[in-house]
Chain A
Amino acid sequence: MTSTDPRNPLESVARRRFLISSWPWRSAGYLLTTAGPALAAAVPFAVLALPWAAALSSRHGFGARTVFAALGALLVAGLGPLVALPLAGVERRRLRLVDTRPVTSGHVPASGAARWLRVRYGEAATWRELGYACLLLAAAPVLYGAFFMIALFVVGLAASPLLAGNGSGRAGEPLALGPVKIDSVAEALPYGAAGLVLLAALPYAAALLAGAHAALARALLGRGSGERLRAELVEVSRSRARLVDAFEAERRRIERDLHDGAQQRLVSLTLKLGLVRVELPPGSEAGRDVADAHEEAKLLMTELRELIRGIHPRVLTDRGLPAALAELADRSPVPVTVRADLPERLPPHEEGTAYFVAAEALANVAKHSRATRAALTAATRGRTLVLEVEDDGRGGADPGRGTGLTGLADRVAVIGGRMLLSSPAGGPTLLRVEIPCGRRSE
């Protein structure tokens, strides 16, 4: 730890070079600037707490005092957060003076006045901040007051030889420093020496007080561990979604490049070969070679088209999910009926995921299920796309075996959807996928 720089006053006081570091000054700055926000918050809080003053007064009966106490509590709890929230914001900024680690608020973003109020009053962070405000107003004056009294006393002690000299010269009265009375410079000298020693200790005390305050502020104004975890989770899932989005965009780019480039050229080349093939006498050697080349090129065309379809089918890009699902069903060896009831185009990523889920599911049906028919339905329920693949096969599909089904579930989970599978031994198998749409409308 000694090799790293101290991060707050509490860590700094243990250092040998503390007194010549910036920490005493930072601590002093922190302590002095506490006055501003504390005073600014004190005024509204004093208003809110007025009923408490009435409750403490002995002029009222017990019942009335209880009512006043309750009213005060209600006011502080109800309106206090409105003061505590901005105060916390200022305090978090001020905390940078004595804390090198950034402290972030535990609030979740909320827009709109009604939603903002609902979210803020429901958050633990808000109530911690209210607690901080109350502590600041109740405890800080006492502790800070005591500290400044001591500081004043120590400064006075240190200056006592000078003061005693001046004082005796001016009025002849003894210099009074609390319980100590000093009559002459000579008498003041030991006090002065003690004062000087204590003066050197003053920065330590300031750092300890500032450090304690800062630690408390950090604990109450930052994120709680649950909030931190949630924030991290949100960030992780956001970055996962970004990754998958980038991956999806890359697929589309590759598909577009292949379609506009290689495929066009290949069709044109095959067309030319076809033309030459017609020109050449069919029996000749050149004729046979060109015919072979033409057939090869046609095979390559088919392969390239299949490849492109596997990356991202053109019909999906152009015509949307219902058309792509119908085409998928047409290519399945097991007869598939399709019912796609989608009023509008889905976002591209959701559309792509649904398509690939359906493709993989139908491939599974053909490979493993021994089904004689399958049904594919796609419909939107509210803002959720529900895709179902049902077959009359032997069932027993198990996500644990093989990676196909878990891969599907992962793919769906990335965009916040879920996959449900029912496949009892003997069948039938029903795969249901729910994909939220319009999740990322921004």
Chain B
Amino acid sequence: MRPTVRVVLAEDGVLLREGLAGLLGRFGFEVVAAVGDAEALLAAAAEHEPDLVVTDIRMPPGFSDEGLRAAVELRRARPGLAVVALSQYVELSYAAELLDSRDGVRVGYLLKDRVVDVEDFVSALRRVVEGGTVVDPTVVRQLLRRSRDPLSRLSAREREVLALIAEGHSNSAITRILHISDATVGKHVGNILAKLDLPLTDDKHRRVLAVLTYLRGTA
């Protein structure tokens, strides 16, 4: 039995906030506070000392990146805090800022629409809480599109695998998702890392960061 993960949730849309709170409760998270703006998020995090903060990036009063600012601030104060930021659209600078905070350990950057795939969403949250890094596949796809170099060097299948690596999946998880053999996944991962001149490692967290760092460097 895993220990209960205590969550502070920040989302300004009431409907979605309630939906998310219900979802987290259903999957064994304990939502200790659900708030509607960044100020309240900071206060609730200080009061409850949660394990995980799930926050919308765009919140009142300015509706720009208040949630992200709060998340980065919380991470600075408590390095171990897991943070998952939800964004309406892919904004690479947001993702970059999160990943740069405390080496990108225990952070997630997901598109808001992901929450409707409840099981995937919950498993992404768990990966972050367990020390992983999760980046929305759209981010990887964008980075791949923007980086001129690996685009030509990776096959379509390898790019697919790369996106899954960036999402923080282990080799066995990729095996399950793509319905291919363990050996094939191992071969793809090896090829990708070799082609991008990245260190060969099975540590999925370090893998994610290596891949993202590489892609951001070439984008």
Residues of A at the B interface (CB closer than 8 Å) are 260, 264-265, 267-268, 270-275, 277-278, 294, 297-298, 301-302, 305, 314-315, 318-319, 323, 326-327, 330, 335
Chain B interface, number of residues (Cβ within 8 angstroms): 29
- Residues on the A chain within 8 Å of B148, using CB: 335
Query: Which residues from A are CB-within-8-Å of B89?
Result: 314-315, 327
| Bound-complex Cα distance A335 to B147 (A) | 10
| Given the contacts A267-B116, A315-B91, A319-B91, A275 and B15 also touching, CB distance less than 8 Å | no
The chain B residue sitting closest to A297, CB to CB, is B116
Give chain A's interface secondary structure class. helix
B181: interface (CB < 8 Å): no
- List A contacts of B146 (CB < 8 A): 330
Of B16-24, B30-38, B77-85, B202-210, the one contacting chain A is B16-24
Q: Does B116 lie within 8 Å of A301, measured CB to CB? A: yes
Q: Indicate if the CB atoms of A271 and B16 lie closer than 8 Å.
A: yes
A to B contact number (C-beta, < 8 Å): 69
Which residues of chain A are near B15, meaning CB under 8 Å? 264-265, 267-268
B118 partner, pick from A264, A271, A302, A326, beta carbons under 8 A: A271
Q: Which residues of A contact B91 (CB under 8 A)?
A: 315, 319, 323
Bitwise, B109-136 to A at CB < 8 A (1) or not (0) is 0001101111100000000000000000
Further pairs besides A267-B112, A268-B15, A275-B23: 8, Cβ < 8 Å: A268-B13, A271-B116, A274-B23, A275-B26, A297-B116, A301-B113, A302-B113, A314-B89
* Cα separation A327 to B138 with both chains bound (whole Å): 11
Query: Interface on chain B toward A: helix, strand, loop, or mixed SS?
Result: helix
Q: Is the CB of B115 within 8 A of A271?
A: yes
Contacts of B63 in A (CB 8 A): 318
Closest 4 CB pairs of A and B: A268-B15, A270-B116, A274-B118, A271-B19
**Structural contact, A271 and B90, CB atoms closer than 8 A:** no
The interface residues of chain B lying within 8 Å CB-to-CB of A326 are 92
| Bound: A225/B138 CA distance, A | 61
Chain B positions near chain A (C-beta within 8 angstroms): 13, 15-16, 18-20, 22-23, 26, 58, 63-64, 88-93, 112-113, 115-119, 142, 145-146, 148
A274 to chain B: which residues have CB within 8 Å?
Answer: 23, 116-118
Which of the residues A268, A305, A335 comes within 8 Å of B19, measured between beta carbons?
Answer: A268
Whole-angstrom distance from the CB of A68 to the nearest CB of chain B? 72
Contacts of B20 in A (CB 8 A): 271
Q: Which residues of A contact B119 (CB under 8 A)?
A: 278
- Given contacts A271-B16, A275-B23, A327-B89, A318 and B116 within 8 Å (CB-CB): no
The CA of A410 and the CA of B174, in the complex, are separated in Å by 51
Shortest beta-carbon distance from B140 to chain A in Å: 12
Given contacts A275-B23, A275-B26, contact A314 B13 (CB under 8 A): no
How long is the Cα–Cα vector from A189 to B93 in the complex, in angstroms?
Answer: 106
A314 touching B88 by the CB < 8 A rule? yes
A275-B145 contact, Cβ under 8 Å, with A267-B116, A268-B15, A315-B89: no
Given contacts A268-B16, A271-B19, A275-B23, contact A318 B58 (CB under 8 A): yes
Contacts of A294 in B (CB 8 A): 116
Q: What's the Cα separation between A265 and B26 when bound, in Å?
A: 20
22 contacts between A and B (CB under 8 A): A264-B16, A265-B15, A267-B13, A267-B16, A268-B15, A268-B16, A273-B116, A274-B117, A275-B22, A275-B26, A278-B26, A302-B113, A315-B91, A318-B58, A318-B63, A319-B91, A323-B91, A323-B93, A327-B89, A330-B142, A330-B146, A335-B145
Least CB distance from B121 to A in Å reads 8
Q: Give complex CA distance A166, B130 in Å.
A: 127
With both chains docked as a complex, state the minimum distance between the C-beta of A95 and any C-beta of chain B, in angstroms: 56
**What's the minimum C-beta distance from A238 to chain B, rounded to whole angstroms?**
32
